[in-house]
Amino acid sequence: MANIEIDWERLAGLGDGTQAGTGTQRELVRLFRESCEIGVAQIREAMDAGDRIRLFKSLHKLRGGCGTLGAVSVSCAITELERLLETGMDVSPSAGLARIESLISLTSIEFTRKYPETTEAA
């Protein structure tokens, strides 16, 4: 399995330290999955349409959400793709997106392991 980096401290800090706080994190983890699904769909749409501006905006958006929740590996992969696209290098955005999707899945598994109730909520 790939080495997934997650900033657990950041994710823990998003709650208030109480039982309800843990519930907050479970809710956020559930929303992480939903938000990533929407984000990836938007990126794919922009790629299919060849809309570079929309592609960058969608990547920005997804990176912001992932970074805020401590999904470091996903966030870094998005940054990397953004940089490659910015430099105009001959890269395949779809290969980059596939990597991002894979990292999202792995991060989601780790999140679910830490906050198991999210499986039921999903």
Partner 1 sequence: MHCLLVEDDTLILTLLKGFLTRLGHEVTAVTSGEAAWQAFSGSPFPAVICDWDMPAMSGIELCKRIRGMKGTQYPYFILITSFQGDGKIKQAMEAGVDDFISKPIDLNLLSVRLQVAARILEFQSQIGILKDLLPICMYCKKIRGDKQYWETVEAYFKEQTGADFTHSLCPDCYHEKVRPELDSIRKEIADGKSEPR
Residues engaged in binding partner 1 (CB under 8 A): 10, 13-14, 16, 24, 27-28, 31-32, 34-35, 57, 60-61, 63-69, 75
Angle of helix 93-114 versus helix 72-86 axis, rounded to 10:
170
Cβ distance to partner 1 smaller for residue 35 or 102: 35
Cβ distance to partner 1 smaller for residue 73 or 75: 75
Least distance between partner 1 and beta carbon 97 (Å): 18
53 burial via Cβ count (<10 Å: 0-12, 13-18, 19+): exposed
Cβ distance to partner 1 smaller for residue 61 or 99: 61
Phi/psi of residue 64, nearest 5 degrees:
-60, -45
